[in-house]
Amino acid sequence: MGTSIIVEIVFLVFMIILTLTTNVITLLVIACTDYLRNINKVYLYSVTISDLCIGVFIFPFALYSAVINLYGTPEIDPKLCHIQAYLTVVLFLSGLYAIAWMNVDHYVAVRKPERYKVMMSPPRSLCWIAFAWIAAISFCCPPVLSYSEIDQYYTEVYLCAVNFGSEIPYFISAAILALLPAFLVLIITNVYLFTHGFRKKQKMYEAVLLDVSSRPRNYQINFIVSSIYAGTWLPWCITRIISYYVIIPDLIHFLTFWAAMGNGFYKFFVYITMSLEYRRGLQELVRMCCKVRRCCCCKPENRNPRQITAPANPTLAATRILTKPSTSGPPPANV
């Protein structure tokens, strides 16, 4: 038992490092380079910040819970458990909405390029993503405001889960309203990739719209990201449902859940493998870091203006001093 917990602790530490590192790199590529110009940066910022917050707030809580579980039964502060369960749901929903909006953005850009700048302008994108975050925050407001409900501790994954309690009808209706539109958007926008219309638009981009020719490619990349997202969460959902009727080993719970939570850093490897723009932005970021490092290492010479350096050839210096015209006497007479 102790050996398995140690392995799980090492696994969590590895995931924390990967999640924080990859998302910080992605944020720097977005902010410091201009290579991701054919991706809506508002939505990319949102999904990256959501993943980074998972690495900052959720993973360390699980690591802390696993460490204290190594020495006995964990005693988690109820308030801390309450906050962690709420943040997990909020960050999950915000990440899902951001991926869905990125799909919509690529769908509009490829299918209606002449109207894209109007339909997906930066102010409108900010409004849509702000609405998505408000919806994610509001989803769990009733159980958060009614603190009398005690959150459930999900022992197998070392996290707290929101306790539905007497609010099961609310959660069912809210889940339908919150999750169903996002899943429908992902299905509709991803199905368009396999139509004749998309292939026709792709050829048009490659032949005419050369400045934004990477748009169809970015659309396909986002399809891979959303497919990985759905494919990693589905096994855990099935495991969770079956566990109410059949006893499932704790390791299955742990692996399926944290494999799904690994979506926080899967995107980095998808981008670096499939996106030429992302690789160029990463190379530019490395060059910028190398320049900053060189500038920090190149220290200016400490020269004292009062210090007189002895000339290498004293005879030549004396000759220059003797032949230098005097400026103190009267000016020479004109002949």
In terms of Cβ atoms closer than 10 Å to its own Cβ (0-12, 13-18, 19+), residue 225 is buried
Please report the pLDDT score of residue 290 as a whole number.
87
85 or 167: which leads in pLDDT: 85
Asked which of 29-43, 138-152, 187-201, 300-314 is least confident by mean pLDDT, the reply is 300-314
* 110-117 mean pLDDT: 88
* 237-258 mean pLDDT: 91
Confidence of residue 297 (pLDDT cuts 50, 70, 90): low
How many other β-carbons are positioned within 10 Å of the β-carbon of residue 177? 11
Residue closest to 162 by CA, chosen among 152, 171, 176: 152
Residue 328 phi, psi dihedral angles, 5° rounding: -90, -25
Please report the pLDDT score of residue 233 as a whole number.
93
Q: How many CA atoms lie within 13 A of 301 on its CB side?
A: 3
Q: Please report, rounded to a whole number, the percentage of residues in the chain having pLDDT higher than 70.
A: 81
Please report the pLDDT score of residue 34 as a whole number.
87
Q: Please report, rounded to a whole number, the percentage of residues in the chain having pLDDT higher than 90.
A: 47
* 5-10 mean pLDDT: 90
85 or 314: which leads in pLDDT: 85
Please report the pLDDT score of residue 174 as a whole number.
74
Show the tokens assigned to 188. Answer: 């509709």
Please report the pLDDT score of residue 267 as a whole number.
93
Q: What is the mean pLDDT of the chain?
A: 83
Residue closest to 226 by CA, chosen among 106, 91, 310: 106
Asked which of 100-114, 185-199, 287-301, 302-316 is least confident by mean pLDDT, the reply is 302-316
The answer to whether residues 172 and 142 touch, using CB atoms and an 8 Å cutoff, is no
Please report the pLDDT score of residue 143 as a whole number.
62
**Confidence check: pLDDT of 185 > 50:** yes
Q: What is the DSSP letter of 112?
A: -
32 or 297: which leads in pLDDT: 32
Choose the most confident range, by mean pLDDT, from 43-52, 173-182, 317-326: 43-52
**Confidence check: pLDDT of 52 > 90:** yes
Residue closest to 160 by CA, chosen among 136, 173, 144: 144
